[in-house]
Amino acid sequence: LLDTVGQPQQVLLDPAQPGAWVVPAAGLALLALAVWSCRGSRAMGFGLGFTVLALLPVSNLFVTTATILGERLLYFPSVGFCLYLAVALGRLCDRFVPGERNARVAFAILVAALGLGHGARTWLRNPVWRSESRLVLHDVAVVPGSTKAQLNAGKALQDLGRHDEAIAHFERALAIAPENSTVYTNWAYSLSAQGRHREAARLLEEQLR
């Protein structure tokens, strides 16, 4: 496979590794659960099936994408999951809460609790988005093993003129993924900004190699 600039794409997981089959197995399990759920509720079966099918285009199973992790990839698939969850909660309330009115109250309480819980999580997350630098530095603290997070953190610090700290992140980004050629250009820029032009030139030569 080739990426947009004609370079060979990195294989995310080797099919020979057992871990590479976890996601396909989970997808098949969800599809099987969707078919089984149709026996009791077509809405639940549709919800799970929709979730799996909506995830396939961004799953990297058939077409590799530039992104392997991101909550935005779950927005559309979550429509089906929310449908499944709502119907499942309603059926649980009907089964375990005596009385139709009490079951509806219990269902409303559960849905309100879910909404409030996720709302609180959103409230806590919002301050991270106050600036680009704050966002990427938070992300690199959460996923330090991501070359993309390290590169983004370095670029943000570079824009702030904090070149020593930026270079440290560029070094980590290359240590994680030496084939990430974009790092060389940014690293060389920070070196040049510090007057270390020979080092910057050597780095760009390494990038070309």
Sign for the pseudo-dihedral over CA of 141, 66, 54, 61: negative
Q: Which two tokens stand for residue 165?
A: 């700290």
pTM of the model: 0.67
Mean pLDDT value across residues 133-146: 92
Dump pLDDT digits (tens) for 18-75.
777 887 888 889 889 888 988 888 999 999 999 999 988 888 777 777 777 778 899 9
* Spatial CA neighbour of 152 closest among 177, 131, 130, 135: 135
* Beta-carbon count within 10 A of 65 CB: 13
Whether 41 and 48 have beta carbons less than 8 Å apart is answered as: no
Of 170 and 12, which is predicted with more confidence?
Answer: 170
- What's the pLDDT tens digit per position in 126-138? 999 999 889 999 9
- Report how far apart, in Å, the C-alpha atoms of 71 and of each of 57, 68, 137 are: 15, 10, 18
7: pLDDT confidence band, cut at 50, 70 and 90?
very low
**How confident is the model at residue 70, as a pLDDT?**
79
Tokens linked to 99: 């009385």
Per-residue pLDDT tens for 87-111?
Answer: 999 999 999 999 999 999 999 999 9
- pLDDT confidence tier of residue 10, bands split at 50, 70 and 90: low
pLDDT number for residue 194: 95
| φ, ψ of residue 2 in degrees (nearest 5) | -120, 145
- The pLDDT of residue 13: 65
Coil, strand or helix at 2: strand
Q: What is the mean pLDDT of residues 103-123?
A: 96
Asked whether 191 and 167 are in contact (CB, 8 A), the reply is yes
Structure tokens at 162: 């904090």
